Chains A and B, each alone.
Chain A
Amino acid sequence: MADSIFRKLRDGGEEGELAPALTIEETVASPFALDVSCYLLANLSSSILAGKSKSEGLVLVTFSRSPSFYLQFLKQKGIFVSSSSKWIRVLDCYTDPLGWIDQPSPGVITEGSSLIKLHKCVSDLKRLFSSIIEAGREMVGDGKTRFSVAIDSVNELLRHSSMPLVSGLLTDLRSHAQVSSLFWSLNTDLHQEKVTNALEYISTMKANLEPFCPSSDGKRNALENLFLVHQDFGKGQFHIRFKLRKGRVRVMSEEYHVDQTGINFSPISSVETIIAATKSLIPKVHFNLQLSEKERVEKEKVVLPFEHQDHGKSTEIYDGRRTLADGKTEATPLSSGELQADVVSSGKGGEIIYFRDSDDEHPDSDEDPDDDLDI
C-alpha cells in the first residue's frame, strides 16, 4: 500500500488540477515519518532517473536533517548524487534556519553550490516559496515540465510561522502549474488538533503511523505513551487514507517494520498480532477477570428458575436448592414454584410460562436493564 502513495506522487495530478499532496503523520511513540520520507524519496528519485515519472526533477527542502544525511541515504540505495546532477536540488533549511552563523562551518558541503542552497530565513515563507520554485525551474526550465517537492518536516515551519501561513505556502505550491506532487511530514503530538486537521484538509493523501499498542486511555499524554511502548517498538500499523476526486475516501492499512536500513512494509499478518497486542491492555490484577473454559461449560449447564425442560418427564421446578434429578415429591415453600405435575396434566390451576427474553448477559456488561422500559 505504501507503493500506492509512491505511484500517486510519481504520476502527479491531471491538467488543471491541484498537485496531489501527502501528509505523513507520526507520533512521539511512533517517530518514523523520516523513514517513510526517505522511502518515498528513494522511490521517486529512481523513477525520475528512469524517466518513468511525470516530474523530471525533485526539490528537497530539509528542516530536520542535513542535506548530507539524505544524499548519504540515497547513495546507500544506489542513487548517486553529484554536483552535476540535474534532477535534484536541495534547499537547506536545517543548517542555519535563523541566520545565527556568519559563515558556514567547515563540515558543510560546499561541493556543487547549485545542488545545495542554504536558506537562512525560515520564517519568511514568501521567500521560501520563491526559492523552491526557483530551484525547480533551475532543473526543468520555465515551460511545462514539472518537478516534485519534498519537505522533510513542517514541525519547524509551524514553530516559526502561524498555521495559516504554512497552509498558504503548501497550497501555493500545490497550485503552481509546474509542481507535479508534494509531500511533507508532521508530528501530531507537537501540535494542536486544528493544525493537524488543517493540513489534512489541504492534502489528498494522509498516511499515519501507529504503534502496535496504542493507549487504551485517550487521556494519557504523548510522553507517557513513549515510555509505555514495547521493548522493541519499531513495528506498528501504517494507515493510508486517499481522498478520491468524487468525494469518496479510501482507507488502506498495512504493517511497518523499521530497522537499520529503513522502513519496510508488509500486509497485515493476522488478527492475532493485534489481539496479542491488545491483550496486554487488560490490567494485571490478582483476581481473575475472565472465565475459564470449564467455568463457561458449567455456567451453560445451570438451569434458570422457571425454565422448563420438556423432556417428556413430569415438570420439575428448579428452586435452586436441589438438582433436577432429586426428589420431586416434596412440596416447595416458594410461592412461585407451586406448580405440581398433576395440576399441569389436569389443565387447571396456575401456570408460569417463562420465556427467556435475552441472551445471557456478559459479566461487566454496561447494559442498563431498564433500557427496554417504555416510559
Chain B
Amino acid sequence: MDRSVNLLDLALGFDEPSPLRGKVVLIEDCVETSGSFVLHQMMKRVLSPHSSDSLIFLAFARPFSHYDRVLRKLGCNLATQKTNNRLVFVDMLMMQCSDNESGVAKLFREIQGTVGKLRSVTNSNITVMVDDMSLLEIAAANSNSDHVLDFLHYCHTLTSESNCSVVTLNHEDIYSSMERPAYLLQMVCLADIVIKAEPLASGLANDVHGQLTVVNKGMISSKSGKGSSRNKLQNFQFRIKENGIEYFYPGCSRN
C-alpha cells in the first residue's frame, strides 16, 4: 500500500524522490470539505519507513493524541517517530506566544533552530507543517494578517536556505469575504503547489466526499529535462474511508 502511488501522489510529483524538497505547499479547505486528510496523508508520506525524512509539526488546532489516533489508523505510529527524532511535535495549544510581531519572529527563530539541529544530523528532507494558519494568526500574530505573511515569507527562506519543505493548511472561506482578499492571494502566490479541497458542485454524496484541485506551479529547475510537473492543474475526486483515502477521476471506477 505504501509503495503504490495514488492520484494525489502523482499530482504532487511523488513518482520522483523528494518532489517537495524546497517547495511551499498550501492546502486550502472550507467548512463543507475539510482538508485535514491531505495533511494526514502527507504526514504519513513524510514519516514512511521507506524514507528518512523528518517532520516538524506546529499544532494549533488539535492535541498530539488526535493526530496519533488518526495516523495510527493509516498505519503510522507517531509516538515511535517522536522517539526516533523523525518527528518534532510542537504543541502550540500548550505554548504561550506573545501577541505582537515578536511572537511570530520568536516562533520562526525556534523553527529555524530546530531545522538547524536536524540538519546537523541528517541530509534528508525536513518538512515543516502548520495546522493551521488561521489559528496561528490568532495565537501568535495577534490577528494581524501582515505578521502571518511575514512569518510565511521567512518559512519560504527555509526552503531555499535549508532545502526544507513547508506545508500549511488554511481555511479559505474565512478570508474570502474579507476586505483584504489580497491576503489569500499573497499566500497562493507564495506557494509552489496549491491543493484546494472543496465539495462537489452537486452537493453532498455518499460515495464521493469532495474534490481536490492541485495546481503545481513548479519553478525553473536546475535539473534540466527532469520532471514535467511544472504548470500543471489536476482535478479529481476523493472518498474518505476508515483506513485511507481513495482518489479517482469523475465518472471512473475507483483505483
Which of these binds chain B: A16-24, A221-229, A291-299, A316-324?
A221-229
B182 part of interface (Cβ distance < 8 Å): yes
CB distance from B140 to the nearest CB of A (A): 13
B55 part of interface (Cβ distance < 8 Å): no
B161 part of interface (Cβ distance < 8 Å): yes
| Residue from A107, A156, A230, A231 in contact with B161 in the complex, judged by beta carbons closer than 8 Å | A107
CB distance from B191 to the nearest CB of A (A): 10
Task: Determine whether the beta carbon of B119 is less than 8 Å from that of A226.
Answer: no
CB distance from B111 to the nearest CB of A (A): 11
| Residue from A28, A72, A107 in contact with B189 in the complex, judged by beta carbons closer than 8 Å | A28
Which of these binds chain A: B2-10, B13-21, B41-49, B145-153?
B145-153
B114 part of interface (Cβ distance < 8 Å): no
In the bound complex, how far is the Cα of B216 from the Cα of A171, in angstroms? 36
Question: Which residues 87-115 of B have a CB within 8 angstroms of A?
Answer: 101, 105, 108-109, 112
When C-beta atoms are compared, the residue in chain A nearest to B194 turns out to be A226
Q: Which of A94, A97, A107, A187 gathers the greatest number of chain B CB atoms within 10 Å? A: A107
When C-beta atoms are compared, the residue in chain A nearest to B220 turns out to be A262
CB distance from B146 to the nearest CB of A (A): 7
Question: Which residues 31-83 of A have a CB within 8 angstroms of B?
Answer: 31, 34-35, 38, 65-66, 68-69, 72-73, 76
B136 part of interface (Cβ distance < 8 Å): no
Which of these binds chain A: B67-75, B201-209, B227-235, B243-251?
B227-235
Question: Which residues 117-161 of B have a CB within 8 angstroms of A?
Answer: 119, 146, 149-150, 153-154, 157, 160-161
Given the interface contacts A100-B154, A190-B182, does A72 sit within 8 Å of B222 by beta carbon?
yes
In the bound complex, how far is the Cα of B105 from the Cα of A101, in angstroms? 8
Task: Determine whether the beta carbon of A66 is less than 8 Å from that of B221.
Answer: no
Given A107-B163, A227-B196, 6 other A-B contacts at CB below 8 A?
A28-B185, A68-B160, A76-B222, A98-B150, A156-B153, A159-B146
Binding site for A on B (CB under 8 A): 101, 105, 108-109, 112, 116, 119, 146, 149-150, 153-154, 157, 160-163, 172, 176, 181-182, 184-186, 188-189, 194, 196, 213, 215, 217-228, 230-234
CB-defined A-B contacts under 8 Å, sample of 12: A28-B188, A28-B189, A31-B217, A66-B157, A100-B105, A100-B154, A102-B109, A226-B188, A227-B213, A227-B215, A233-B233, A260-B230
